[in-house]
Structure 1
Amino acid sequence: MEEYQRSVCPQCGTRYDDWDHGGDDEEDRYTAVLQKCVGCEVIADKQQELADSGAPMHGMKVALVPAAAHAALEMLRGMQHQNSTD
């Protein structure tokens, strides 16, 4: 099983043996299709925005966080900041 897992491409999930390597006797098991992921689009847009701003990008990672969780965290940070200035 470990040998099989090592043979799987971490990016596309296929193995070399999954593909017909030029023979006429088999069809490929996979077909490349286009699929739009809105989450990936939003991440790419934010990365481009960060790059265009000139802000240091070293070590920066864009992550998707549920809006409700983000709002709750922002409210908590605001309350903590308010308490520290009182």
Structure 2
Amino acid sequence: MQHRHPHQRAHTRREPPKRLGADRTLALELDVCAAYRIPHSEFLRWSADDRDKAIWHHLWKRQTCPNCDTRRDEWDESRGGHRHAYAGEKRRCRGCEVKAATQASIVPEDGEGVYVVLVPNEEVRRANA
């Protein structure tokens, strides 16, 4: 049995409030709040100018490709872009090299769900302290 504070309402609703489906502005505001990890009530305390900027920035980022970090209109000549707006450039990242080498060392015996993250090397940190 779940205990709750006497002033808390029980959450019995199983589907989202109808307002969320009907109010596109509220849905967008909640997306922005999720991105900033703030409650909607805090977002509403922001000035109208700051809220507008956050919403427009969110919409702009939503149009950005997560893979290449460009937007379609940057490439589309009918929208003021250019077919050759960007050029590819090779770069080397030591962190990516280390991560890829460690990823390659994962074997089936490690099990499912194993992935690689980079963590500070404590020996190097102590030597530089």
Using the size of structure 1 for normalisation, the TM-score is 0.60
CA pair 57-48 structure 1, distance change in 2 beyond 3 A? farther
CA pair 36-57 structure 1, distance change in 2 beyond 3 A? farther
Matched, 1:48 2:104: yes
Aligned to 2:63: 7
Aligned to 1:65: 119
The gaps in structure 1 that reach 5 residues or longer are: 73-86
CA pair 57-66 structure 1, distance change in 2 beyond 3 A? same
Aligned to 1:84: none
The gaps in structure 2 that reach 5 residues or longer are: 1-55
Q: Map 1:23-38 to 2 at 5 A.
A: 26=82, 28-38=84-94
Question: Higher relative CO (CA 8 A, sep ≥ 6), structure 1 or 2?
Answer: 1
1:58 offset after TM fit, Å?
1.6
- Residues 23-65 of structure 1, C-alpha deviations (whole Å, 9 max, x = no match): xxx46221101111111111111111113xx323421121111
Letter in 1 for 2:94: V
CA contact (8 A) 1:18 1:28 kept: no
Number of equivalenced pairs: 67
RMSD: 2.8
| Percent identical residues | 34
CA contact (8 A) 1:20 1:28 kept: no
Using the size of structure 2 for normalisation, the TM-score is 0.43
